[in-house]
Amino acid sequence: MFMIKFRFILFFILLTLFFGVNLHSITMTILPFKSANREWIEEYMVDDGMPRVLESSLINAHLFEVSDYDLLISYFASYDIVASYKIMQTNINVASKFIKETFNSDYLINGEVLDFTLKKGGKDTATVEFKVNLINIKTLEVLKTFTNSANYTLPGNSPVYKSEDALFYESALGRASILAFDKIVRDIVKYLKASSISGIITRVEDKKIYINLGKKDNVKKGDKFDIYELERVLELPNGDSNSSNSNTNVHTNSLNQKFVNKSNIPKNPVETNNRIEEYKHIRSNEKGDVWYTSEMLYRYRFYNIKEKFVASAEVVELYDNYAILQNKSDKKIEIMMRVRIKK
């Protein structure tokens, strides 16, 4: 069971590193949600489920880079504070400090579930309402609060799933949640005046480049896109680094490496002016709680994504869900490279 969970976490880490945070886009990290009704957490797990729904809505806008919520939870287990990641619901200082050291985020998002009800009858109707705060990660100022709601009626009885279940999106509550968060995302886009559409290359045929953006993303024939190669760079706290191309395996430095000058280093030992700390597998707090930290998770927190410009290409064919660019350069273009519309 442990190995299955470990491999699942590793899969998400590699996936996130591949599509990692873009240094030139608006980047966001979503924190666990609060709930106006404790029963919604117990029955539907809305505190963890709703951040994932909002994450999906933000990603589908193709205008933001969003930290993976599951990795947020996993990485917090390697943080120096021996506490549940749920502490980030109420302690914004802890959240911001952790996020600054782990993700290249411009904004934090926290939220609250205000309504999450299912009215059963001949046709089951779900009603949801959410409040979302957009927070400047540097100043911790709440820049704007967005509140929106939605209803959704299924023709028959709606199955009831926890919001972490993949089938949740087929339920009335799931579909209502998507509608409400899509509205909130549109409001966020307007507020931030976001316009830098980005996507990935899904296919390459001779001089034709297929991208996962189309008419639905307001792409037009004649639009020009810049193409970037992604490189994952391991920047350890002591200044050492290692990198790997987006088409190669991830590399790391020696497991005997010592770490310095990062607040996620366990603080149990007495600090001295010139103390050099190293990774610790077991940590504890004054209450006697003991946590075990994966060194893999500890190290992966220090990976950053670097972009390298490759070429530019123009949209020559346009469809609802994708577009085709014409490659007029002699540069090698590969799938999974990032594309961003030229302003």
DSSP for residue 140: -
CA 159/CA 169 separation, integer angstroms = 10
Burial class of residue 156 in the structure, from the number of CB atoms within 10 Å of its CB (0-12 exposed, 13-18 middle, 19+ buried): exposed
The pLDDT of residue 81 is: 77
The pLDDT of residue 293 is: 63
The pLDDT of residue 300 is: 65
The pLDDT of residue 278 is: 53
Of 34, 9, 38, 57, the closest CA to residue 174 belongs to 57
Domains and CATH numbers, the chain: 2-192 (3.40.50.10610), 198-230+304-341 (2.40.10.410)
Spell out the residues 6+ positions from residue 56 whose beta carbon is closer than 8 angstroms to its own. Answer: 178, 181
Structure tokens of 98?
A: 């952790």
Total-model pTM: 0.74
- Per-residue pLDDT for the chain (343 aa), expressed as one digit of tens each? 444 444 444 444 444 444 444 445 799 999 999 999 999 999 999 999 999 999 999 999 999 999 999 989 988 877 777 788 999 999 999 999 999 888 889 999 999 999 999 998 778 899 999 999 999 999 999 999 999 999 999 887 777 889 988 889 989 999 999 999 999 999 999 999 988 899 999 999 999 999 999 999 999 999 999 999 988 777 766 555 555 444 433 333 333 333 333 333 333 333 333 332 455 666 666 676 766 666 666 666 667 778 899 999 999 999 999 999 999 999 999 999 999 998 7
